[in-house]
C-alpha cells in the first residue's frame, strides 16, 4: 500500500513552510478539495451500495429455488467486483492511495472477468473464489456506514463553522437573539471573537475531514490488497 498525495508539494525542492503557514494553507491546497470531493461522494455512494446489495441479494437468494435467482446472484456478485473497482479508482485518483482493483478485474489475471474468452464457467469460478470479491462486498457494506458517519460529521462541522463565522453579520439583526449553543451574542467584539474561533475551527475541520477521507482510502486499499498478499506468500 502506498500513500503519497502530496509528493510534488513535499518533494526535496518544496519550501519549508512553518507549522502556522501549513495549518492556514489547507484551503489553498488542491488535495484538500480532492479529499472533500471523496467525502461528498461517500454518502450517496453508500446509499446506492445498500440499495444495490439489498435488492440484488434478497431477490437473488429469495428466488434461487426457482433458478431465476441464480443469474441475479451472479450479476450481483459481478456488480460487487466492479463497484470495488470504482472504490479503488476513487481512492487512487482523489486521495493518492494506491488501491489495487479486485483480483478478477486485474489485467494480469488470466482467468478474470477481463478474459471472458477463457469460458464462462472458468471466469465465474475465478470470480467466486477470489478473496477480493468478498472483501469488495465487505467494503461496500462498510462504505455505507462510513458514508453516513462522514455525512453527520461534515454537517456538524460545517454548521458550527458557519454559525461562528456569521456572528458579526447577524448578531444585531432586529428581533433576533443570536446564540451559539446557550451563549447569547450581544456585542460586536463578542461576534468578532466568535468569527475568529470559527476560522480556527473551520481550518481544523478541513484537517479532520481530510483525515477521514484518507482513512476511507486506506480501508479500501487494505481490503483490496488481500490477493496481493496471498499471491506473495505463494
Give domain status of residue 16, yes or no: no
- The pLDDT-based confidence of 8 (bands split at 50, 70, 90) is very low
Which residues in 194-219 are b (16+ Cβ under 10 Å) and which e?
Answer: bbebbeebbbebbeebbebbbebbbb
* CA pair distance 71, 56, nearest whole angstrom: 10
Q: Is the pLDDT of residue 117 over 90?
A: no
What CA–CA distances, in Å, run from 122 to 70, 91, 128, 129, 234?
Answer: 17, 30, 10, 11, 21
Give domain status of residue 41, yes or no: yes
Average pLDDT over residues 111-140: 82
Q: At what angle do helices 30-62 and 69-90 cross, to 10 degrees?
A: 170
Q: At what angle do helices 131-165 and 69-90 cross, to 10 degrees?
A: 50
- In degrees and rounded to multiples of 5, residue 183 shows phi and psi of -95, 120
Give domain status of residue 5, yes or no: no
Percent composition of the chain: helix, strand, coil (DSSP 3-state, to 5):
75, 5, 25
Q: Between residues 211 and 21, which one has the greater pLDDT?
A: 211
Q: Can you say how many angstroms the Cα of residue 51 is from the centroid of all Cα atoms in its chain?
A: 18
- Provide the residue range defining the domain that includes 54: 32-229
* CA pair distance 85, 105, nearest whole angstrom: 8
- The pLDDT-based confidence of 161 (bands split at 50, 70, 90) is very high
Lowest-pLDDT range of 64-68, 162-166, 190-194: 64-68
Give domain status of residue 88, yes or no: yes
* CA pair distance 222, 232, nearest whole angstrom: 15
Give domain status of residue 105, yes or no: yes
Q: Can you say how many angstroms the Cα of residue 4 is from the centroid of all Cα atoms in its chain?
A: 16
Length of the chain in terms of residues written: 234
Q: Is the pLDDT of residue 146 over 90?
A: yes
221's enclosing H/E stretch is helix 188-224
Give domain status of residue 7, yes or no: no
Give domain status of residue 11, yes or no: no
Tally of structural domains, the chain: 1
What is the tens place of the pLDDT at every residue in 54-95?
999 888 887 876 777 888 999 999 999 999 999 999 999 999
Give domain status of residue 26, yes or no: no
* pLDDT number for residue 12: 46
* CA pair distance 188, 186, nearest whole angstrom: 7
Q: pTM for this structure?
A: 0.83
Amino acid at each position: 500500500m502506498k500513500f503519497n498525495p502530496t509528493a510534488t508539494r513535499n518533494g526535496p525542492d518544496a519550501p519549508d513552510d512553518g507549522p502556522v503557514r501549513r495549518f492556514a494553507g489547507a484551503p489553498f491546497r488542491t488535495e484538500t478539495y480532492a479529499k472533500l470531493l471523496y467525502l461528498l461522494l461517500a454518502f450517496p455512494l453508500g446509499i446506492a451500495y445498500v440499495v444495490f446489495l439489498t435488492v440484488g441479494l434478497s431477490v437473488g437468494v429469495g428466488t434461487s429455488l426457482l433458478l431465476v435467482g441464480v443469474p441475479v446472484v451472479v450479476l450481483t456478485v459481478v456488480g460487487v467486483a466492479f463497484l470495488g473497482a470504482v472504490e479503488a479508482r476513487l481512492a487512487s485518483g482523489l486521495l493518492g492511495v494506491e488501491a489495487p482493483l479486485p483480483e478478477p478485474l486485474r489485467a494480469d489475471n488470466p482467468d478474470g472477468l477481463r478474459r471472458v474468452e477463457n469460458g464462462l464457467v472458468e471466469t465465474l469460478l475465478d470470480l467466486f473464489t477470489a478473496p477480493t470479491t468478498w472483501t469488495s462486498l465487505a467494503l461496500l457494506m462498510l462504505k455505507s456506514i462510513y458514508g453516513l458517519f462522514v455525512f453527520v460529521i461534515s454537517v456538524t462541522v460545517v454548521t458550527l463553522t458557519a454559525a461562528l463565522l456569521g456572528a458579526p453579520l447577524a448578531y444585531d439583526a432586529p428581533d433576533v437573539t443570536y446564540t451559539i449553543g446557550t451563549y447569547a451574542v450581544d456585542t460586536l467584539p463578542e461576534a468578532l471573537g466568535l468569527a475568529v474561533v470559527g476560522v480556527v475551527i473551520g481550518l481544523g475541520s478541513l484537517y479532520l475531514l481530510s483525515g477521514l477521507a484518507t482513512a476511507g482510502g486506506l480501508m479500501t486499499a487494505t481490503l483490496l490488497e488481500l490477493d496481493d498478499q496471498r499471491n506473495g506468500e505463494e
